[in-house]
């Protein structure tokens, strides 16, 4: 009997090891596919094309992305999860380039293919869902965005817990969706919860270094700006001014400033987003500016 149990245990261990090896191989294959796709997209881009009468760099890049997306079904036939990962990567890139409708189609296709083979609680599935919800924000599909963000929130809470940074990132996106949908009180409450939990977890000063990501201080600062705008919308002007002042102090200490060396693409974008939202929040609270630009808020 003992020998039988030992044999069964060994067989189960071998099976688990084989599954782990197969999963590792599949993940490696997908990563290699993404690397190859990126190489194909950027190969041949000419930054000086516009000066020679050709298309500008963004137009050329979008065309490359479109061509790559169109060939995925043929190039990766019989590999649905690889296609899903590639469509997600392409869709997110299109979204950041402002090609919202193309991003929507790619991300929806990625999610459909991913869900056909992988469960809802898979981290990559949740990433695609989160990206698709972000695309919905850009096209003012707020109920659809909220529904997806809430699904991602629930799954990430079950997997990682309520205070994990991935969960908090989704909650921050959900708060933006609430704000854009006019659910201001819920948005402000959620922004403040995310802010307080992030500070509790990582500390208020130079916490981005602990998180190993330059995006986190930007999210903290922009959440404070949106909190200020939410308080203003609710008629709570003292709270609005206090949140605006907190955002200004945090930006001064935690955001890299233009002129302070090479910020990188992410640093420049974060600084520009802060400048835009700060200008709008200041204008709103002072009564000198109309409602904020929705596309900027959706980022």
Could you report the per-residue pLDDT of 165-190, keeping only the tens digit for each? 889 889 999 999 999 999 999 999 99
Return the pLDDT at 211. 47
Return the pLDDT at 170. 93
- Using pLDDT thresholds of 50, 70 and 90, give the confidence band for residue 209: very low
Distance in angstroms between the alpha carbons of the first and the last residue of the chain: 62
pLDDT above 90 for 145: yes
Cα 225 to Cα 245: distance, rounded to the nearest angstrom = 9
User: Within a domain: residue 1?
Assistant: no
Return the pLDDT at 258. 44
Q: Write out the residue range of the structural domain in which residue 245 sits.
A: 161-299
Q: Where are the alpha helices (DSSP H) in the chain?
A: 2-42, 57-70, 72-75, 80-96, 100-117, 123-138, 142-160, 165-180, 184-202, 207-211, 215-233, 237-254, 264-286, 294-297
Residue 117 and residue 216 in one domain: no
Q: For the chain, how many structural domains are there in total? A: 2
pTM metric for this prediction: 0.74
User: Within a domain: residue 292?
Assistant: yes
Return the pLDDT at 207. 43
Cα 42 to Cα 69: distance, rounded to the nearest angstrom = 14
Average pLDDT of the segment spanning 275-280: 76
Residue 178 and residue 284 in one domain: yes
Return the pLDDT at 171. 94
pLDDT above 90 for 196: no
288 vs 74 pLDDT, higher one: 74
- Using pLDDT thresholds of 50, 70 and 90, give the confidence band for residue 214: low
294 vs 165 pLDDT, higher one: 165
Residue 171 and residue 111 in one domain: no
Return the pLDDT at 51. 66
Residue 170 and residue 106 in one domain: no
pLDDT above 60 for 206: no
User: Within a domain: residue 299?
Assistant: yes
- Using pLDDT thresholds of 50, 70 and 90, give the confidence band for residue 265: very low
pLDDT above 50 for 266: no
Residue in this structure with the two tokens 């200020």, named with its chain if needed: 228
Residue 106 and residue 169 in one domain: no
> 90 with 84: CB under 8 angstroms?
no
Give CA separation, 208 vs 203, 221, 250, in Å: 9, 12, 12
pLDDT tens-place string over residues 64-114: 888 888 888 888 888 899 899 999 999 998 998 889 999 999 999 999 999
Pick from 46, 68, 72: nearest CA to 59: 46
């Amino acid at each position: 009997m003992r020998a039988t149990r030992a044999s069964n245990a060994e067989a189960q261990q071998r099976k688990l090891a084989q599954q782990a090896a197969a999963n590792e191989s599949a993940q490696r294959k997908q990563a290699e596919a993404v690397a190859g796709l990126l190489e194909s997209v950027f190969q041949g881009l000419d930054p000086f094309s516009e000066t020679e009468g050709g298309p500008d760099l963004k137009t050329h890049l979008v065309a490359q992305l479109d061509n790559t997306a169109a060939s995925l079904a043929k190039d990766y036939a019989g590999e649905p999860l690889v296609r899903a990962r590639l469509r997600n990567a392409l869709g997110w890139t299109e979204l950041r380039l402002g090609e919202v409708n193309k991003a929507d189609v790619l991300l929806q296709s990625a999610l459909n293919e991913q869900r056909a083979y992988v469960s809802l609680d898979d981290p990559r599935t949740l990433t695609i869902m989160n990206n698709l919800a972000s695309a919905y924000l850009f096209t003012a599909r707020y109920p659809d965005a909220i529904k997806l963000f809430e699904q991602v929130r629930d799954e990430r809470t079950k997997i990682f817990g309520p205070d994990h940074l991935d969960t908090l990132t989704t909650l921050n996106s959900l708060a933006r969706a609430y704000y854009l949908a006019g659910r201001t009180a819920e948005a402000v409450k959620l922004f403040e919860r995310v802010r307080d939990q992030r500070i509790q977890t990582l500390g208020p000063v130079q916490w981005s270094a602990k998180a190993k990501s330059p995006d986190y201080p930007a999210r903290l600062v922009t959440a404070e700006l949106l909190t200020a705008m939410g308080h203003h919308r609710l008629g709570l002007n003292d709270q609005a001014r206090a949140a605006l002042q907190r955002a200004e102090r945090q930006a001064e200490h935690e955001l890299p400033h233009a002129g302070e060396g090479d910020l990188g693409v992410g640093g420049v974008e974060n600084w520009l987003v802060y400048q835009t939202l700060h200008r709008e929040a200041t204008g709103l609270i002072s009564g000198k500016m109309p409602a904020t630009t929705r596309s900027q808020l959706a980022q």
